[in-house]
């Protein structure tokens, strides 16, 4: 068995959970304004969709709000990951420790998921209490699985960006542009049937696209496309392995 395989099966979960607690939960409790800021874009788009469609597409916007929130938080975190690497040199502290790149990536990924929880609770209230679109239990379970894969895939993209740049000042603009392009252009706030099939495949380079298509199918908002689950899983693996390859502080 190779050393990389051993690394995967000997995760330092204690470190990962502690990092997630400190960088996720503690950030939420110490800076609630960051949570509000992360919600500003999805809620603004939700309002615009409500006004433009006169409420007709509101269920799509609420379902897509979960996707946009999780993906945008993870993608914009590329700035944090780059700051930790280039300015604080935090990865240099782990070279002589038992912490592996996978432990570090898992900890930050969990922190982004924790950071998204308040926003997801708000969307559950909007969708479940006001519009009753989350009543199918299997749909809710499917949404949970999609969000787990989505946060891993988008966090991996954030790591790829953070590990590829040489100056922190470059990452903020890149992360901001990608956050918009990869969460707003895909059919997160509108039915995927509005766009031709070739465009749907082109937009599937963003994990938010298969996630949104699956979510719309889970809750009966559009015709299910089960093969999108394979697309999302494949993208998650590809992006994670690429991020793992770039995050190699032991070999440097």
Mean pLDDT score, 103-112:
86
Distance CA 138, CA 16 (A): 29
What is the model's pLDDT at position 165? Answer: 83
Of the ranges 86-100, 114-128, 172-186, which one carries the lowest mean pLDDT score?
86-100
Mean pLDDT score, 161-190:
84
Of the ranges 5-14, 17-26, 107-116, 218-227, which one carries the lowest mean pLDDT score?
5-14
HSE toward the beta carbon, residue 122, CA cutoff 13 A: 17
Residue 252 inside a domain? The answer is: no
What is the model's pLDDT at position 174? Answer: 82
Residue 176 inside a domain? The answer is: yes
Tell me, rounded to whole angstroms, the distance of Cα 185 from its chain centroid: 15
Q: What residues have CB less than 8 Å from 53, skipping those under 6 apart?
A: none
In the chain the beta strands, taken as DSSP E runs, fall at none
Which residues span the domain enclosing 190?
Answer: 3-246
Can you give the pTM of this predicted structure? 0.84
Number of structural domains (the chain) is 1
Q: Of 122, 146, 148, 139, whose CA–CA distance to 62 is shortest?
A: 122
Residue 248 pLDDT exceeds 70: no
What is the model's pLDDT at position 131? Answer: 56
Helix axes 137-164, 168-184, angle to 10 degrees: 150
Provide the percentage of residues in the chain whose pLDDT is more than 70. 90
For residue 90, name the pLDDT band (cuts at 50, 70, 90).
Answer: confident
Residue 251 inside a domain? The answer is: no
Mean pLDDT score, 45-55:
86
Residue 32 inside a domain? The answer is: yes
Residue 121 inside a domain? The answer is: yes
For residue 173, name the pLDDT band (cuts at 50, 70, 90).
Answer: confident
What is the model's pLDDT at position 20? Answer: 86
Length of the chain: 252
Residue 69 inside a domain? The answer is: yes
pLDDT tens by residue, 184-242: 899 998 999 999 999 999 999 999 999 999 999 988 889 999 999 999 999 999 999 99
């Amino acid at each position: 068995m190779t050393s990389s395989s051993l690394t995967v099966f000997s995760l330092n979960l204690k470190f990962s959970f502690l990092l997630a607690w400190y960088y996720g939960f503690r950030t939420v409790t110490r800076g609630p304004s960051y949570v509000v800021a992360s919600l500003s874009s999805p809620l603004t788009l939700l309002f615009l969709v409500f006004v433009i469609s006169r409420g007709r597409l509101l269920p799509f916007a609420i379902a897509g709000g979960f996707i946009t929130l999780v993906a945008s938080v993870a993608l914009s975190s590329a700035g944090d990951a780059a700051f930790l690497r280039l300015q604080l040199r935090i990865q240099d502290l782990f070279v002589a420790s038992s912490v592996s790149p996978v432990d570090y990536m898992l900890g930050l990924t969990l922190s982004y998921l924790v950071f998204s929880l308040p926003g997801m609770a708000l969307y559950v209230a909007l969708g479940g209490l006001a519009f009753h679109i989350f009543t199918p239990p299997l749909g809710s379970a499917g949404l949970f699985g999609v969000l787990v894969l989505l946060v891993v895939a988008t966090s991996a993209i954030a790591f790829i960006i953070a590990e590829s740049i040489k100056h922190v000042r470059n990452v903020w603009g890149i992360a901001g542009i990608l956050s918009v392009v990869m969460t707003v252009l895909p059919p997160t706030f509108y039915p995927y049937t509005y766009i031709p099939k070739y465009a749907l495949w082109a937009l599937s380079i963003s994990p938010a696209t298969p996630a949104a298509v699956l979510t719309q199918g889970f809750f009966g908002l559009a015709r299910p496309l089960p093969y999108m689950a394979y697309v999302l899983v494949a993208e998650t693996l590809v992006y994670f392995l690429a991020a793992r390859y770039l995050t190699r502080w032991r070999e440097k």
